[in-house]
């Protein structure tokens, strides 16, 4: 009877309400749909909390608003292929999970997607940057590789020698402020040097080089922290065991994930 009551509520309240909203025209319809999206994602997060997670509500709400704006503009019609792909992915993964009927569906589905967001969505940006390099005869990717690697090495040596105060010992027990700042400076210097030697071509100015270097210096280290955090959570505290067995790809590329994504964003917004 509970089920029936729910259905009657829809019939006598939901349908007129839905139809009413519909006839109020596009802007009102979009606003009400957005409110429903916000309510829905809020509930989804409550479900996640029941599973012991602490999803970031505020962030989810902000992205919901951005997605609503994006769908509202017919002028963003060109972005539909990616959104179509995302929708298709979500439906497919849920469908497969329903058929498979395994334990822990929430965790299964959410980690499937986080894998896609964390690795290919981020690392794939390097392909785009490489193509921009090709078109504009620059060497951002190559400089980024060197910058990130030398940043890591500098942070390690300076940190080991002079690093006392740790940044976030509970996530990464060895990373010190001295090491991080040294790494940052080296990352910026590598980009400035690359610029001075003409490796960045004629499209970018010194200011761009400083920005690229700063992104490399900050976000490569943030990527390190991100992976340390995931490893700690998975109970893999030393980089040894799990990842070494698999070649340690994430271990090697964690610092590139975030820095290349942020350079990509910088190129999109300020240069292209």
The three-state secondary structure class of 267 is helix
Instruction: Single out the segment in contact with its own copies by CB under 8 A; choices: 175-183, 184-192, 198-206, 229-237.
Output: 229-237
- For position 137 contacting its own copies by CB under 8 A, the verdict is no
In the complex, least distance from residue 214 CB atom to its own copies, rounded to whole angstroms: 14
Among positions 82, 164, 165, 202, the unique one binding its own copies when judged by CB under 8 A: 82
In the bound state with its own copies, the residue whose beta carbon lies nearer, of 202 and 245, is: 245
Among positions 12, 20, 36, 198, the unique one binding its own copies when judged by CB under 8 A: 36
Among positions 12, 14, 173, 237, the unique one binding its own copies when judged by CB under 8 A: 14
What tokens were used for 256? 């590139």
In the complex, least distance from residue 156 CB atom to its own copies, rounded to whole angstroms: 6
Is the C-alpha dihedral spanning 38, 62, 90, 86 positive or negative? positive
The three-state secondary structure class of 176 is strand
DSSP secondary structure, 75-119, as one string? GGGGGHHHHHHHHHHHHHHHHHHHHH--S-HHHHHHHHHHHHHHT
Burial of residue 114 (number of CB atoms within 10 Å: 0-12, 13-18, 19+): exposed
In the bound state with its own copies, the residue whose beta carbon lies nearer, of 55 and 201, is: 55
Instruction: Single out the segment in contact with its own copies by CB under 8 A; choices: 34-42, 179-187, 191-199, 204-212.
Output: 34-42
Q: What angle do helix axes 105-118 and 80-100 make, rounded to 10 degrees? A: 150
Asked if residues 208 and 216 have their Cβ atoms less than 8 Å apart, the reply is: no
x/- contact string, 84-103, with its own copies (CB under 8 A)? Answer: xxxxxxxxxxxxxxx--xxx
Q: Of 183-222, which residues contact its own copies (CB under 8 A)?
A: 219, 222
């Amino acid at each position: 009877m509970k089920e029936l009551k729910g259905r009657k509520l829809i019939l006598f309240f939901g349908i007129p309400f839905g139809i009413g909203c519909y006839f109020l025209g596009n802007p009102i319809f979009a606003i009400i749909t957005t409110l429903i999206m916000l309510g829905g994602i809020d509930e989804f997060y409550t479900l996640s909390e029941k599973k012991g997670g602490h999803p970031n509500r505020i962030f989810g709400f902000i992205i919901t608003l951005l997605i609503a704006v994006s769908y509202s503009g017919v002028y963003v019609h060109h972005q539909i292929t990616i959104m179509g792909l995302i929708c298709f992915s979500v439906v497919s993964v849920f469908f497969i999970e329903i058929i498979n009927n395994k334990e822990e569906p929430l965790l299964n589905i959410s980690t499937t997607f986080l894998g896609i967001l964390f690795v290919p969505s981020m690392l794939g940006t390097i392909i785009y940057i490489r193509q921009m390099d090709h078109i504009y005869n620059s060497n951002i990717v190559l400089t980024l590789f060197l910058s990130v690697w030398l940043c890591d090495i500098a942070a390690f040596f300076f940190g080991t020698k002079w690093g006392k105060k740790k940044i976030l010992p509970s996530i990464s027990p060895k990373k010190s402020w001295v090491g991080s700042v040294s790494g940052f400076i080296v990352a910026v210097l590598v980009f400035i040097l690359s610029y001075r030697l003409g490796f960045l071509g004629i499209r970018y100015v010194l200011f761009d080089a400083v920005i690229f270097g700063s992104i490399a210096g900050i976000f490569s280290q943030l990527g390190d922290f991100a992976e340390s955090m995931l490893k700690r959570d998975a109970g893999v505290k030393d980089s040894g065991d799990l990842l070494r067995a698999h070649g340690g790809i994430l271990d090697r590329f964690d610092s590139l994930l975030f820095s290349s994504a942020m350079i990509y964003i910088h190129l999109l917004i300020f240069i292209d």
